[in-house]
């Protein structure tokens, strides 16, 4: 199995030295960068055979700023965060990070995630499919079949994480444009100046690039604009002009014919945006000719099992075998992060299976207590109880103990939780797996506590 090259980007030199040494022993080629400004050039010039590990908190430029300045990168980025950095981690995911990892982390835990990100970046996205057997999912697939070959602009609506890009991919791959480029632009991750440069090629004072604008790279393919509500009034007008005239002004000022198809998404209510004067009414009518609405996962919760099993099989080449309790848990969980949270869960389970050397087996048993532990430590914020069913409310409440919200330290909560797990399972390796930490990390923590008793 080929291994990716690793860009280790962190201003903590001791961490980089220890991690790079451990990864090299596992066969990885590692390049260490301690300066965020140098990291921008390194990521922008890296190819898809490289995986970047980027620390969130660095001087000069933060990890998020590095992500925003490397929007055309070919290599996946794993974001390293500290405890309490959940909002920044979620923003990093929106800005295109493959996933986020929490410090402290060992090479044994990082290595399988590097391989997974590398494989994901290099695998073919042909034959994309919207997973699910609910009436809603079948309707989405029917819409894809009927609209794939249309040249009209398509609007995909749905909450964050519901699979809007997957639907766009399906529309592209099932059309006559399948062999043409699929150009994806995450508008929420770009500044106004970057949108101007990236899409249209105009040069502002704060941006400079020799790359051609994306409009000229689409050809007869698909231009996918994620989160269209993030466009400024100026760029809303430019998009409307593109849709109506099929022409755009190139970076050298020439009118150029646009032969591609435009697909846009939004996680907001466009009618509300128009009424609040945040979105152009004429563009609203231009985009709503062919709308597709994706329901949140908690309204088609049976699909969560199919999504989880499909992704886990894809990641591990193993067949998941869920207990009845595990299946019930997945169906009743509220899934505030929608399908994206299910995929995140599958990735975490897949990594843990590889760390525990379970990937040599053909069957991967999945128990409810394993999933419950992972879901209780999730970056996706849960919605209010008012939007949850009674069974979902019960599950949400069971994910927290009575200490939460009390005036006590995190160390006390952590110590009580670990002690309870050790009493319950009497197995250090199993407890480490549930806690998603390396066994040696857990041993060090226990030894540290011994000295305080």
Where is pLDDT greater, at 319 or 94? 319
3-class DSSP assignment, residue 390: helix
From CA 296, how far away is CA 160, in angstroms rounded? 9
The whole-number pLDDT of residue 144 equals 95
pTM of structure = 0.65
pLDDT band at 151 (very low <50, low <70, confident <90, very high): very high
Burial of 277 (0-12, 13-18, 19+ CB in 10 A): exposed
What are the structure tokens assigned to 24, written together?
Answer: 């090299």
The whole-number pLDDT of residue 32 equals 94
pLDDT at 403 exceeding the cut of 60: no
- The average pLDDT across 89-100 equals 72
Beta bridge partners of 365: 321
pLDDT at 377 exceeding the cut of 50: yes
Nearest to 190 by CA among 214, 219, 161: 214
Most confident option among 37-46, 198-207, 258-267: 258-267
pLDDT band at 318 (very low <50, low <70, confident <90, very high): confident
Q: Is residue 207 within 8 Å of 172, Cβ to Cβ?
A: no
- The average pLDDT across 415-431 equals 71
CA distances from 330 to 164, 208, 412 (A): 21, 47, 30
Q: Is residue 32 within 8 Å of 8, Cβ to Cβ?
A: yes
pLDDT above 70: percentage of residues in the chain: 77
Q: Is residue 301 within 8 Å of 136, Cβ to Cβ?
A: no
Q: What is the pLDDT of residues 349-370, one digit of tens each?
A: 887 776 555 545 678 888 888 8
pLDDT above 90: percentage of residues in the chain: 36
Question: What are the residue boundaries of the structural domains of the chain, listed by start?
Answer: 5-122, 135-295, 405-453
The whole-number pLDDT of residue 210 equals 46
pLDDT at 301 exceeding the cut of 60: yes
Torsion, Cα 225 228 233 237, to 10 degrees, reads: 50
- The average pLDDT across 78-84 equals 72
The whole-number pLDDT of residue 358 equals 52
Q: How many C-beta atoms lie closer than 10 Å to residue 22's C-beta?
A: 16
H or E stretch covering 408: none
What are the structure tokens assigned to 70, written together?
Answer: 């490397």
pLDDT band at 425 (very low <50, low <70, confident <90, very high): low
From CA 310, how far away is CA 319, in angstroms rounded? 9
Query: Starting from the edge strand earliest in sequence, which strands make up the sheet with 222-226, in order?
Result: 182-186, 222-226, 261-266, 154-157, 290-293
3-class DSSP assignment, residue 282: helix
Q: Is residue 428 within 8 Å of 443, Cβ to Cβ?
A: yes
From CA 174, how far away is CA 67, in angstroms rounded? 31
Quote the DSSP letter at residue 94. Answer: H
Domain 135-295: state its class. alpha beta
Q: Is residue 129 within 8 Å of 174, Cβ to Cβ?
A: no
From CA 421, how far away is CA 416, in angstroms rounded? 9
Q: Is residue 33 within 8 Å of 8, Cβ to Cβ?
A: yes
pLDDT band at 251 (very low <50, low <70, confident <90, very high): low
Pairing of strands 5-9, 29-33: parallel
| DSSP secondary structure of 112-146 | HHHHHHHHHHHS--TT------SHHHHHHHHHHHH
Report the topology of domain 405-453.
Answer: Arc Repressor Mutant, subunit A (1.10.10)
- The average pLDDT across 280-286 equals 94
Residue 98 CA, distance from chain mean position: 6
Of 3.40.50.2300, 3.40.50.150, 3.30.9.10, 3.40.50.300, the CATH number of 5-122 is 3.40.50.2300
pLDDT band at 64 (very low <50, low <70, confident <90, very high): confident
Nearest to 69 by CA among 96, 30, 102: 96
pLDDT band at 383 (very low <50, low <70, confident <90, very high): very low
- Do the domains 5-122 and 135-295 sit in the same CATH topology, yes or no? yes
């Amino acid at each position: 199995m080929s291994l990716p090259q690793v860009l280790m980007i962190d201003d903590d030199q001791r961490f980089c030295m220890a991690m790079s040494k451990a990864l090299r022993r596992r066969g990885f080629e590692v390049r260490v960068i301690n300066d965020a400004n140098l990291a921008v050039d390194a990521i922008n010039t890296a190819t898809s055979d490289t995986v970047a590990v980027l620390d969130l908190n660095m001087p000069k430029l933060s990890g998020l700023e590095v992500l925003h300045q490397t929007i055309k990168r070919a290599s996946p980025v794993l974001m390293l965060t500290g405890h309490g950095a959940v909002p920044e981690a979620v923003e990093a995911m929106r800005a295109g990070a493959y996933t986020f990892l929490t410090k402290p982390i060992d090479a044994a835990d990082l290595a399988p995630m590097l391989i997974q990100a590398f494989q994901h970046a290099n695998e073919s996205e042909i034959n994309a499919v919207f997973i699910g057997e609910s009436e809603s999912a079948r309707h989405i697939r029917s819409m894809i079949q009927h609209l794939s070959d249309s040249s009209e602009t398509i609007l995909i609506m749905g909450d964050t994480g519901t699979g809007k890009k997957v639907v766009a991919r399906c529309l592209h791959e099932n059309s006559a444009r399948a062999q043409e480029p699929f150009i994806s632009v995450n508008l929420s991750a770009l500044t106004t100046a970057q949108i101007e440069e990236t899409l249209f090629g105009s040069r502002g004072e704060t941006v400079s690039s020799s790359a051609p604008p994306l409009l000229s790279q689409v050809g007869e393919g698909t231009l996918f604009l994620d989160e269209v509500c993030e466009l400024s009034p100026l760029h809303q007008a430019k998009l409307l002009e593109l849709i109506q005239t099929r022409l755009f002004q190139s970076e050298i000022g020439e009118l150029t014919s646009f032969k591609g198809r435009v697909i846009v998404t939004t996680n907001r209510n466009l009618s509300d945006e128009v009424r609040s004067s945040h979105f152009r009414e004429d563009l609203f009518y231009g985009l709503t000719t062919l709308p597709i609405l994706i329901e949140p996962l908690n309204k088609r919760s049976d699909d969560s099992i199919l999504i989880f099993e499909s992704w886990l099989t894809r990641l591990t080449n193993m067949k998941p075998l869920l207990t009845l309790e595990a299946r019930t848990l997945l169906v009743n969980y509220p899934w505030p992060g929608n399908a994206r949270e299910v995929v995140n869960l599958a990735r975490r389970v897949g990594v843990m299976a590889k760390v525990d050397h379970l990937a040599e087996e053909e069957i991967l048993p999945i128990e409810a207590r394993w999933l419950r532990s992972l879901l209780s430590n999730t970056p996706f914020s849960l919605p209010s109880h008012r939007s949850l069913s009674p069974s979902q409310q019960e599950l949400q409440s069971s994910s927290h103990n009575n200490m939460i919200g009390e005036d006590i330290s995190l160390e006390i909560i952590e110590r009580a939780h670990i002690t309870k797990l050790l009493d319950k399972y009497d197995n250090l390796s199993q407890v480490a797996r549930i806690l998603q930490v390396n066994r040696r990390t857990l041993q060090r923590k226990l030894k540290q506590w011994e000295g305080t008793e």
